[in-house]
Structure 1
Amino acid sequence: MANRFQPLLDAQRGHFLSDATKSYEWRIDQLDRMERMLLDNKEAFCAALYQDFGKPPFEQLFEITVPAGVIRYYRENLKDLMAPQPVPIPQGLEATGNRGVVYKEPYGVTLVIGPFNAPILLLLDPAIAALAAGNTVILKPANTTPATAALFQRLVPAYFDPRDVSIVTGGREEIADLLALPFDFIFFTGSSAVGKVVMRAAAENLTPVILELGGQNPTIVDETANLDIAAERIAWGHNAISGQWCIAPGYVYVHESIADAFIAKLKAAIVAMYGDDPIKSPDFARMISTHDTERVASYILPDKVVHGGRYDIAARYVEPTVLYPSTWDDPALQQEVFGPVLPVMPYRDLRAMIDIVKRRPKSLAAYIFSKRQETVDYILGSLSFGGGCVNQTNLHCWIDSLPFGGVGYSGMGKYYGKAGFDALSNTKAMLIGNPDLRLDVFPPYAGKDIEKNLSVFS
């Protein structure tokens, strides 16, 4: 049976093979169209986010302003990113009129599969990088945010030629059919479980992939930390989007000497942000589904609740909850929580604690709160993770100059800014030879000074 999306792939590939997408003008035109789609429909996008899972205004606008900033970066830097880059070559070759050049060329038709938690930002940011690099794009938004997906389905054809950018909506069947096709590149953001499915499918066609996944992100608060700053930033970083983002602090290790003080300040910070009854707060989002609400609520151990603990399955609500003292045997530490339940554990010895953390699956992010540079250097040198912050949470992933992505279980590949352009481009390395230079390195070799002739390559 023919794949229903084959004609869509064929149309984009035919357009790509015409070389139309490789020009600077085409790329700028796509970026301009993307920007107009976002800004012309800002209110509609915000309303869709609220309809899908009650995103508050700041989190709504965040999903518009960040992609707009990425577009601005590429518009300002695209000519430099596209330009062939001279690179050093062995002195002997360079002295005889040869030179090395690296070209960046687009891969071709790119499939971008987005997640539900940031259904605009995390669908469009990869697409923007792909377009800037000269690729055509097929977008697959999350089916668990139906209002946002429906809006994309209406707007994308209104702003883009389908040979440049198209959209496919639906669920597992549609994703399975898409993944059966031989795309030139696949960019997936979502869970590690689905990431494995994507990677297996990509392997059938040897399609390169970027996988932006997740995991339990460690947060370490040592005895020198500014506890007011740490508590406030962890409270926001963990509970924004109701804890449903892959870079949220997943658990906290706090030095035992300041654990009680930290817990008190963390509780106060949560109340300051969301009030005594967060279900009434206009700034606290809902869980994406009743199933996920049940899942996250099951992690709440009543005897360890020091803050929060209430939930309403029908309302898709879990209160910002702090569990202390948690242990690695607790349900909330068996997998990524992806919800507003935060396990906190005390530690005494930094090196012993880091030894425990580094033996667990590598995380997408990690956060360190300390005023002691020696501690920061030790953690950064010993612990492997995708990226993170010192004395801050979450914001590293929205900065163009900081490549964003995971490692190991939390994903592969980096993007944002120049890293995104490079990731969505094939690096074509070229040696440009001197047309008049004879190299005496060919047979027959009898009577030749082979070492001398080979010295040109060193």
Structure 2
Amino acid sequence: MSREQLAVQRARKSFQTGNTKPLEYRIHQLNSLLRFITERRRDIADAVKRDLGKSEHGTELFETLGLEGEIKLAIEKLAEWAAPRPVEKNLLTISDEVYVQPEPLGVVLIIGAWNYPWAVTLQPLVGAIAAGNAAVIKPSEVSSHSAKAMEDLLPQYLDKDLYPVVTGGVAETQELLKQRFDHIFYTGSSTVGKLVMEAAARHLTPVTLELGGKSPCYIDKNCDITVACRRVTWGKFVNCGQTCIAPDYVLCEPSIQSRVVEEIKKNIKEFYTDNPKTFEDYGRIVNQRHFKRVMSLMEGSTVAVGGDSDESQCYIAPTVLKDVTGESKVMKEEIFGPLLPIITVSGVDEAIQFINEREKPLVIYVFSHNKKLIKRVIAETSSGALLANDCLVHFTVSALPFGGVGNSGMGCYHGRHSFDQLSHLRSCLIKQLKMEGVNSMRYPPHTAKKLGWARFLLLKQVNVCRLRRMALLAMLAGLAAFVVQRFLR
């Protein structure tokens, strides 16, 4: 029996004990995960520095702070999320208990990504623990130091049987995907996402696929271009461009292309100095294979800013490409690196058409003072999210579902959405063994009179909370009328 199969079997056996059902146990595990992040902050930062060249402050800002917020929110709201959820009734069920009861799915497989090896691996784990599941955690082997740290340190804080960490490469992941899970949560490329979904289909296992794609950024010529380019520069070059929601390319009118280039150039210098290679807050491409892939994407395009590289250090300077077309090599795949192509369009009409001719992106960015223009982009395009006048920050709002659509993924998470995504929302209806006279209308023989009553009782929705409020208002009105009448006497 393989190591992967043993891990899954232990997790399922532990789940079947029912230990994860009580909310107190889930909260205990969440507190242990929070303690892990706070106590091992230095170990996490060191691993990320060795994997991606990211600074300690950058790791805290983009990896651990968000995790802390997600855990604290889950602890605070867990009782509310896990409680039965009353629903509207019809007249036929007005006297019955009708509600949705969240329950654990079982054993969840979480396959993490290398670009944010802690945030995108452990945030789904927060939802899995909160929902009462066991979880097998598979960190990306590409961020090897983070994977090793997770394997060594996490079992010191969480239940080792319920939440095992399985490391390894393609072979180990394939072995895991042969096992039966109750849900698979994968973050990564669309290509691998298809393989994950194919493997899950053999067991009819539901999946959450957090993928990527080419997220466009439209800059309206009438907006504050200085501010827009400052925010685009930050969003694009964070983590050396290795962010699934980074602006992949800019769409703008020819009249402002030179201004956009100059503003981005100025911001690169401000953020990363004249020599980003020596600046501690500018990272590196994760390995030489990805370095060569990103460098090859520049072929056939004009470098307007940057373009410097050093293969020995996996360093690529923040780079802007101009005179790019939809047929350029850099437009054939998600860049996932520090290259920002600029494509000129005649206006918002052509920008919308350009976006709609391609796969649905994870996010669309639009910069404009014109709210009607923004609303039009929302109405006439489709994407996992739309963010106007900033980049990346929608990821920080736990109340917003984070996820893609179509080629950019399926399913969502963050906050309560993580809990719901990794729960079975069970429909419950509890009737009483009385009022058989009402029930008899559904039994044969069927008559026109019975059908008429059934139509009325079944199709008339009843908002019980509203009825209660109306009854309370009626009682208060009656009491007020009584007091006034007594006073007037």
TM range (shorter): over 0.9
User: Hey, what's the Cα distance between the residues in 1 that align with 2:297 and 2:199?
Assistant: 33
User: Hey, what's the Cα distance between the residues in 1 that align with 2:3 and 2:428?
Assistant: 39
User: Hey, what's the Cα distance between the residues in 2 that align with 1:90 and 1:282?
Assistant: 63
Question: Does the CA-based 8 Å contact 2:240-2:337 persist in structure 1?
Answer: yes
Deviations 1:397-431 (A, max 9, x none): 12111110000000000100111111111110112
1:9 equivalent in alignment to 2:8: yes
Question: Does the CA-based 8 Å contact 1:4-1:177 persist in structure 2?
Answer: no
Q: In the comparison of the two structures, how many residue pairs are matched? A: 455
User: Hey, what's the Cα distance between the residues in 1 that align with 2:344 and 2:312?
Assistant: 34
User: Hey, what's the Cα distance between the residues in 2 that align with 1:72 and 1:8?
Assistant: 28
Question: Does the CA-based 8 Å contact 2:100-2:427 persist in structure 1?
Answer: yes
| Structure-to-structure mapping, 1:9-408, within 5 angstroms | 9-62=8-61, 63-94=63-94, 97-301=95-299, 304-408=302-406
The residue identity in structure 1 corresponding to 2:83 is A
User: Hey, what's the Cα distance between the residues in 1 that align with 2:172 and 2:178?
Assistant: 10
1:256: Cα distance to partner?
2.6
Question: Does the CA-based 8 Å contact 1:78-1:132 persist in structure 2?
Answer: yes
Task: Say which SS state the counterpart of residue 166 (structure 1) adopts.
Answer: coil
Deviations 1:128-175 (A, max 9, x none): 111111111111111111111111111122112222211000001110
Question: Does the CA-based 8 Å contact 2:252-2:347 persist in structure 1?
Answer: no
- CA distance 1:447–1:47, shift in 2 (3 Å): closer
User: Hey, what's the Cα distance between the residues in 2 that align with 1:457 and 1:434?
Assistant: 18
Of stretches 435-444 and 231-240 in structure 1, the one that deviates more from structure 2 is 435-444
Question: Does the CA-based 8 Å contact 1:301-1:323 persist in structure 2?
Answer: no
Task: Say which SS state the counterpart of residue 441 (structure 1) adopts.
Answer: helix
1:356: Cα distance to partner?
1.8
Question: Does the CA-based 8 Å contact 2:301-2:328 persist in structure 1?
Answer: no
1:432: Cα distance to partner?
2.1
- CA distance 1:152–1:446, shift in 2 (3 Å): closer
Deviations 1:423-442 (A, max 9, x none): 11111011221331210134
Q: Which residue of 1 aligns with 2:485?
A: none
The residue identity in structure 2 corresponding to 1:42 is R
The residue identity in structure 1 corresponding to 2:395 is C
- CA distance 1:382–1:447, shift in 2 (3 Å): closer
Task: Say which SS state the counterpart of residue 384 (structure 2) adopts.
Answer: strand
1:351: Cα distance to partner?
1.3
The residue identity in structure 1 corresponding to 2:133 is N
User: Hey, what's the Cα distance between the residues in 1 that align with 2:171 and 2:446?
Assistant: 65
User: Hey, what's the Cα distance between the residues in 2 that align with 1:82 and 1:302?
Assistant: 55
1:451: Cα distance to partner?
1.3
Question: Does the CA-based 8 Å contact 1:388-1:394 persist in structure 2?
Answer: no
Deviations 1:234-265 (A, max 9, x none): 11111111100100000000123322222211
Of stretches 394-403 and 447-456 in structure 1, the one that deviates more from structure 2 is 447-456
Deviations 1:350-376 (A, max 9, x none): 112211211201111111100001110
Q: Which residue of 1 aligns with 2:464?
A: none
Deviations 1:340-396 (A, max 9, x none): 011001211311221121120111111110000111001011110101311000111
Q: Which residue of 1 aligns with 2:463?
A: none
The residue identity in structure 1 corresponding to 2:93 is L
Q: Which residue of 1 aligns with 2:487?
A: none
Of stretches 367-376 and 257-266 in structure 1, the one that deviates more from structure 2 is 257-266
User: Hey, what's the Cα distance between the residues in 1 that align with 2:324 and 2:221?
Assistant: 19
The residue identity in structure 2 corresponding to 1:212 is E
Give the ranges of 4+ consecutive aligned residues of structure 1 lying more than 3 Å apart after TM superposition. Answer: 441-444
Question: Does the CA-based 8 Å contact 1:362-1:385 persist in structure 2?
Answer: yes
Larger Rg: 2
The residue identity in structure 1 corresponding to 2:237 is N
1:447: Cα distance to partner?
5.8
Question: Does the CA-based 8 Å contact 2:285-2:314 persist in structure 1?
Answer: yes
Q: Which residue of 1 aligns with 2:472?
A: none
The residue identity in structure 1 corresponding to 2:86 is P
Question: Does the CA-based 8 Å contact 2:301-2:324 persist in structure 1?
Answer: no
